[in-house]
């Protein structure tokens, strides 16, 4: 398939989608370039949401693109499910991201995949991979929003999403 219209036709009406993105994008603050960059990301994601018209969106509550997407989806009134890899996953989020998530959580469903906090980094990464598979298996479309430079964890999450198969992955580079 060569164009977006063909993908949209294949998705049908009210598809279930996921939005995954770069945690390095500043969620709040900043001046000039950072503010323009967030505005560009918001416009691109909003445009895709309007085109796709999803019936449900899965989002992992990371900082950066995912936090920005949660606010956008809430504003647009799109049914959203927040997927936490484990209990306590959001404990290390910044205060503004926590406040945002608290406000948005009243309007969406929340799923926590593991009840206990992992004991070490290896276990945590395993739960995060499991979460990526969980959302990819349930989504007809994954919108993956990233910058020009991809960190190893971003490449790994994209590989995990691509390995599930079955759905469509659209990569949106916010730097271009």
**In the chain, where the domains are located:** 4-24+31-147+160-173
pLDDT at site 1: 44
- pTM, two decimals, is 0.84
| pLDDT at position 161 over 70 | no
List the CATH code of the domain at 4-24+31-147+160-173.
3.40.50.450
Q: Phi and psi for 55 in degrees, rounded to 5?
A: -85, -20
- At 30-45, the pLDDT tens digits run 555 577 777 888 888 8
List C-alpha distances in Å: 32 to 13, 36, 117, 138, 143: 38, 6, 38, 38, 26
- At 4-18, the pLDDT tens digits run 677 777 777 888 999
Please compute the mean of the pLDDT values over residues 100-120 and round it to a whole number.
86
Structure tokens at 175: 């730097």
Beta carbons of 16 and 56 less than 8 angstroms apart? yes
pLDDT at site 81: 93
Q: Phi and psi for 151 in degrees, rounded to 5?
A: -75, 165
Please compute the mean of the pLDDT values over residues 126-138 and round it to a whole number.
87
């Amino acid at each position: 398939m060569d164009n977006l219209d063909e993908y949209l036709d294949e998705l049908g009406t009210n598809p279930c989608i996921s939005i995954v993105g770069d945690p390095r994008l500043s969620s709040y603050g900043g001046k000039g370039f950072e503010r323009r960059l967030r505005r560009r990301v918001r416009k691109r994601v909003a445009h895709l949401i309007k085109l796709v018209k999803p019936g449900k969106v899965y989002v992992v509550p990371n900082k950066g693109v995912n936090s920005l997407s949660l606010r956008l989806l809430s504003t647009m009134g799109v049914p959203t499910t927040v997927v936490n890899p484990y209990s306590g996953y959001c404990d290390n989020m910044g205060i503004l991201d926590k406040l945002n998530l608290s406000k948005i959580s009243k309007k969406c469903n929340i799923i926590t995949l593991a009840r206990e906090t992992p004991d070490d980094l290896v276990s945590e990464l395993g739960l995060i991979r499991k979460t990526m598979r969980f959302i990819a298996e349930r989504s007809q479309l994954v919108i993956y929003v990233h910058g020009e430079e991809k960190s190893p964890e971003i490449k790994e999450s994209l590989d995990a999403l691509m390995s599930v198969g079955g759905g469509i992955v659209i990569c949106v580079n916010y730097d271009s």
